[in-house]
Copies of this chain bind each other. A is one copy, B any other.
């Protein structure tokens, strides 16, 4: 088994075919395709293959010539950079309905990051040529893609800002808020380990642990069986701002 840094990686893709109707139904829930009519969605659905990946399987590697777009149908994947010394920076954690790989598709350059399954996952794969043809025929998809890229760019700029302006507890507060469920007192959407959080915000696992202990102690969050719930959203928001 190959290992990159601390994560053991397995290479085990496998292809299977799934009902076209199910795929169409699923795709029409994805923001990127939501504006399209049934026929157009079906057009895309016909071009996909579903590929299954085991936990820790490498889906794409930085530097690869990328020529496919992936939509997460089940499971969870992380997008990450791996430094030469093995340290990992997690740029994003993607769940059902999220997609990745469009950058290489658009500009033809190599993949800019690794993507690894954090759970057994099923991904819909769309090849470059097929995708491009569809996009050229339907401006709606092009627009949707631009909206998605804009969202990510805003998010990335926000991340750069918080890396520079916030201390570690502030950055922890920010990730917690970003992954908060909708209502008051709802638990976080995803289960994030301290390790994962630390790799998302550029901190050590220990410091994240201490920050969360502090938040718990002060009643900002509560943790039960490793499930985090935001108790005092206002205070947490205050903690996620630069100190004056």
Contacts and interface: CB of A to CB of B under 8 A. Distances in A.
A106 B147 contact: yes
A161 B103 contact: no
Nearest to A102: B150
Copies of this chain present: 2
A202 B112 CA distance: 23
A139 B152 CA distance: 22
Contact of A160 (B87, B89, B142): B89
Given A163-B163, A244-B85, A153 B149 contact: yes
A13 interface: no
A189 interface: no
A154 B112 contact: yes
A162 to B, nearest CB: 9
A201 B88 CA distance: 20
Contact of A149 (B85, B149, B202): B149
B145 A107 contact: no
Contacts of A139: 136, 139, 142
A109 to B, nearest CB: 7
User: What is the size category of the interface that chain A forms with chain B?
Assistant: 35 or more
Interface in A61-93: 81, 83-85, 87, 89, 91
A165 B87 contact: yes
Interface string A135-166: 01001001101110111111011111101110
Given A91-B160, A142-B142, 20 more contacts: A81-B165, A83-B165, A89-B165, A103-B150, A103-B154, A106-B143, A106-B150, A107-B147, A107-B150, A107-B151, A109-B150, A112-B157, A136-B139, A139-B139, A139-B142, A149-B150, A152-B153, A160-B163, A163-B164, A164-B202
Interface of A: 81, 83-85, 87, 89, 91, 102-103, 106-107, 109, 112-113, 136, 139, 142-143, 145-147, 149-154, 156-161, 163-165, 202, 241-244
Across the A-B interface, the 4 shortest Cβ-Cβ residue pairs = A164-B202, A156-B156, A149-B149, A83-B242
